[in-house]
Chains A and B, each alone.
Chain A
Amino acid sequence: MDLTLTAEEEAFRDELRAWLEANHPGEGPGGGDQAEFEFQRKWQKALHGGGWAGISWPKEYGGRGATLIEQAIASEEMARAKVPRPANVLGLVMGGPVVIAHGDEDQKERFLDPILSAEEIWCQGFSEPESGSDLASLKTKAVKSNGGWKITGQKVWTTFAHEAKWCMLLARTDPDAPKHKGITYFICDMEQDAVDVRPLRQITGESEFNELFIEEAEVPDENVIGGVGNGWNVAITTLMHERAGLGASAALQLRIALDELAEMAKEKGLAEDPLVRDKIARLRIGIEGLRLGAMRALTQTMKVGIPGPEGSVAKLQWSYANQAMTELAISIGGIELLERDSLWAYRFLRARANSIEGGTTEILKNIVAERVLGLPKLR
C-alpha cells in the first residue's frame, strides 16, 4: 500500500497543473445558454490543442493513454482549477470510448476526431417516458429500409440535444426477441427534420435536458455500433464509462463546497454549535470515504480489471453527500440562501436529481445486492 504518487504520476500532475494555470479561460458567461456552450466548445478546443482532451483514450486514437490513476488525477486537477467542463463531455466520456470498444475501423476513422475537437457534439438517447429504471423495456423502434433503418419513438433526459450532431440512440430492432436481445445501438444524425428537440424545464428553472420526438429518422447501416441486436451490451459499456472515475473529482468538488460551508458556519457564529459540528464532520467523513473508496477501486481495476465492492457504492456516497450538504447549507445560511439567484439555492435544488440521474439509488442498491452480494432477484 502506498498512497503517494509515483514519479510518473507526479510529473503528469505537475504538467497538467502548469498547463491549466497557463491556459485557464477564466469564468464563463454562465446561464446555460448558447453563449456558455460556445465558451465550453472553445475551452475543449484549447484542451485538444494542448493534448488534454480524451485523457483516457488510447494514443492511437488521439488520446493521452493515461492510466486510471492519472485520469483521476486529471479530473481532480480540473476540479481544483475550477475550469469549465468541455462542451462535448458525453462524446468524450461515453461516445468515443464506445466507438473505440465496439466500432469498426471506418467508424473510428469517421467519428473519433471530431469528438476530441468538439466539432461534433454528442448526446445520448437512452431513457424514454415509459422506460426509466427499466431501460431495456424501451419502445422506440427501428425498421429496416434501403441500406439503413427508419427510427420512430420518443426519448427523454437528453442533454445537449439542441447542440448535438450525433445521438447515441437505443432502439428496438426485433420486437419478438427477449427484451435485452432485441435492441440495437445506433449513432443517429440529429440534423434531420425527423428529429424534433424540445427543451425540458427542470425545478431549477433552467433546461439542461430535452425530449426527442423522432418520426422515421434515417440512420444508415454503417452507423450501427456493435452489431444488430447487440445494443444492450454496447450500452452497458457506456453506462460503465459514465460511472468510472466519477469518485475522485466528485469528492474534490464536494470538499471545496464543504469548506465554503464551514466558512459560512463560522461567519454565522455557529462554529461551536454541536449539531453543526457533528453534521459537518459526518459530511467530511463521507466525502473522504468517497475519495478513498474511488482510489481503492482504481487500484483494484488496474490490478485485476474490475473494481472491488468499494466501487459499487461511489454513486450512492456522492448523491447522499451532495444532498445532505446542500440541505445543511440552507439550515446554516438561513432564508436568504433560498433566494432564487442564490448559488446555494441552485445547488440545493439541482442536488435533488442526484439520486435519480445515472441510475436511481434504488436501482444501484439492487445492483449492489444482486451482483456484489449475490442476493436473489425479485424479478
Chain B
Amino acid sequence: MDFGFNDEQQAIRDTAREMLAKRSPLSRVREHAEAKTRDEDLWKEICDLGWPGIAIDEQHGGQGLGTVELAILCEELGYTCAAVPFLSNAIAAHVISVAGSDEQRDRWLPGIASGESRGTVALEQEQPAIVVDADGAALLVLPGAGIVEPSAAEVESLDLIDQTRTYARASASGGDALAGESGMHVPMVALAAELVGIAQRALEMAVEYAKEREQFGRPIGAYQAVSHRCADMLWDVEEARSLTLYAAWCADAEPETLPYAAHMAKARASDSAWTVTSSTLQVLGGIGFTWEHDLQFLLKRAKVSGELLGSAGAHRDRVASFAGLG
C-alpha cells in the first residue's frame, strides 16, 4: 500500500508546478481573460512537453501513462487557471481511446496527442450540448452524432463568467459514429482534479492575506473567526484531493470501483472548490470583490467546472445508490 506519488509522478508534478509558475502567472491569465484570447504560446510549450498525450497509448503518439498522471497535470493546470485547452482535449483523448474504432483512433489520436489537431467532447447527453474550447478544435464529439468536424456542426458561443476558456453549445447530425461507448467517469476525475488545484490556490491566497492584513492592530489570521475558516478550507481541499487521487487510481487499477469513486470525487471537489473560493473572498474582504483582484478567475472557474458533467447534488444521488439506497 502506497498512497503517495512514485518518483515519476512526483517529477511530473514538480515540472508542471515549476513551468506553470513561470509561464502562467495569474497576471498572464488576466491578460488572456480580458482580451478573450487563448494562451497559444503556453499551449505550444505544453504540447512540446507532451502533456496532451499523457494518457494516450504510445502507439498513437502518447506517453502511455495513466489517469493518476493525467490528474496530476489537471490539478496543476487548475492551480494556475491557465488559459489553455488541455482539459477538453484530454477528455477527447479518453473518449476516442475507449469508444473509437481502430480506424478512428488511428485517425484522431496522434493529432490529439501532439495537440496539433485538438478535440473536444460534449459534456451533456442532449443536443445542443455544452462543449469547452470548441473554437479552433479539429474535431467535436457530440451525442448521437459521433465525431464531427467543426465546419459540420452548429456551434453557438456561450459567454460564461469564466473567461479563461471558451464555452459553447454545439449540435450536429450525421457524424462519424463512435464504434463503442465511453463512460464519463475519467473526465469527471479530470475535472475534479482541476477543481482541487483551484481550491488549493485559493486556500493559499486566503492564508497569505490573513498573515499580512492587519485590523485592530493584529493580522486578521490571528482571529479564530478567520483562522478556523482557513482550517475548514484545508479540510475541504485535502478531503477532495484524497477522493480524487483515489478515483484516478481506480481508473487505472480497479476499474470496477471507478464509477463509485468518480461520483464521490466530482461531488466533493465541486463543493470544495466553491466553498474554498467563496470563503477566500470572505477572508479577503472587499478587495476580493474587485475586478483587479485575481481571485475572480479561480472563483468563476470553480463555479463553472463544478457544474460541468453534473452538479454535486446529481453526483451525490449516484453515490446514494452505491451506498445501498438503490
Which residues of A approach B to under 8 Å, CB–CB?
1-6, 9, 69, 258-259, 262-263, 265-266, 271-272, 274, 276-278, 280-282, 284-286, 288-290, 292-293, 295-296, 298-300, 303, 309-310, 312-313, 316-317, 362, 364-366, 368-370, 372-378
A372 to B237, CA, bound (A): 13
- The answer to whether B234 touches A362 (Cβ under 8 A) is no
- Residues of chain B in range 229-246 having any CB-CB distance to chain A below 8 Å: 230-232, 234-235, 238-243, 245-246
Q: How many residues of B contact A (CB 8 A)?
A: 49
Shortest distance in angstroms between A306's beta carbon and chain B's nearest beta carbon? 13
User: Interface segment, B16-24, B26-34, B214-222?
Assistant: B214-222
Sample of 20 A–B contacts (CB below 8 Å): A1-B68, A2-B249, A9-B1, A259-B324, A277-B320, A278-B320, A280-B323, A281-B319, A289-B268, A299-B3, A299-B4, A303-B4, A313-B231, A366-B231, A369-B224, A375-B211, A375-B222, A377-B222, A378-B224, A378-B227
Which residues of B approach A to under 8 Å, CB–CB?
1-6, 9, 68, 207, 210-211, 218-219, 221-224, 226-228, 230-232, 234-235, 238-243, 245-246, 249, 253-254, 264, 267-268, 313, 316-317, 319-320, 322-326
Shortest distance in angstroms between B134's beta carbon and chain A's nearest beta carbon? 32
A274 to B323, CA, bound (A): 14
- The answer to whether B232 touches A365 (Cβ under 8 A) is yes
Chain B residues with CB under 8 Å of A280's CB are 320, 323, 325
- The answer to whether B238 touches A299 (Cβ under 8 A) is no
A313 to B234, CA, bound (A): 8
Q: Known: A266-B324, A285-B268, A362-B224. Contact between A373 and B231, CB under 8 A?
A: yes
Among B1, B222, B223, contact of A6 (Cβ-Cβ < 8 Å): B1
Shortest distance in angstroms between A270's beta carbon and chain B's nearest beta carbon? 8
- The answer to whether B323 touches A281 (Cβ under 8 A) is yes
A277 to B324, CA, bound (A): 10
7 nearest A-B residue pairs (beta carbon): A369-B227, A277-B320, A281-B316, A262-B324, A289-B239, A292-B242, A281-B319
Q: Which residue of B lies closest to A303 (CB)?
A: B4
A69 to B2, CA, bound (A): 9
Chain A residues with CB under 8 Å of B235's CB are 313, 316-317, 368
- The answer to whether A288 touches B6 (Cβ under 8 A) is no
Chain B residues with CB under 8 Å of A265's CB are 325
- The answer to whether B323 touches A262 (Cβ under 8 A) is yes
Chain B residues with CB under 8 Å of A6's CB are 1
Q: Which residue of A lies closest to B317 (CB)?
A: A277
Q: Known: A265-B325, A288-B243. Contact between A3 and B3, CB under 8 A?
A: yes
Chain A residues with CB under 8 Å of B218's CB are 376, 378
Shortest distance in angstroms between A322's beta carbon and chain B's nearest beta carbon? 15
Shortest distance in angstroms between B191's beta carbon and chain A's nearest beta carbon? 16
Shortest distance in angstroms between A99's beta carbon and chain B's nearest beta carbon? 29
A135 to B268, CA, bound (A): 36
Q: Known: A259-B324, A284-B322, A378-B223. Contact between A373 and B2, CB under 8 A?
A: no
Shortest distance in angstroms between B241's beta carbon and chain A's nearest beta carbon? 7
Chain A residues with CB under 8 Å of B322's CB are 284
Chain A residues with CB under 8 Å of B226's CB are 375
- Additional 16 contacts, C-beta under 8 A, given A277-B320, A369-B230: A3-B1, A3-B254, A259-B323, A281-B323, A285-B268, A289-B240, A292-B242, A299-B3, A303-B4, A313-B235, A316-B235, A366-B227, A368-B234, A374-B211, A375-B219, A375-B227
- The answer to whether B267 touches A376 (Cβ under 8 A) is no
- The answer to whether A262 touches B1 (Cβ under 8 A) is no
Q: Known: A278-B313, A285-B264. Contact between A293 and B222, CB under 8 A?
A: no
- The answer to whether B231 touches A369 (Cβ under 8 A) is yes
Q: Which residue of A lies closest to B325 (CB)?
A: A271
- The answer to whether A1 touches B245 (Cβ under 8 A) is yes
Q: Known: A277-B316, A278-B320, A285-B267. Contact between A317 and B222, CB under 8 A?
A: no
A313 to B230, CA, bound (A): 12
Among B1, B241, B313, B326, contact of A271 (Cβ-Cβ < 8 Å): B326
Q: Known: A281-B320, A285-B243, A299-B1. Contact between A366 and B224, CB under 8 A?
A: yes
Chain B residues with CB under 8 Å of A3's CB are 1-3, 246, 249, 253-254
Chain A residues with CB under 8 Å of B241's CB are 310
A290 to B245, CA, bound (A): 14
Q: Which residue of A lies closest to B316 (CB)?
A: A281
Q: Known: A1-B4, A274-B317, A373-B230. Contact between A289 and B242, CB under 8 A?
A: yes
- The answer to whether A284 touches B323 (Cβ under 8 A) is yes
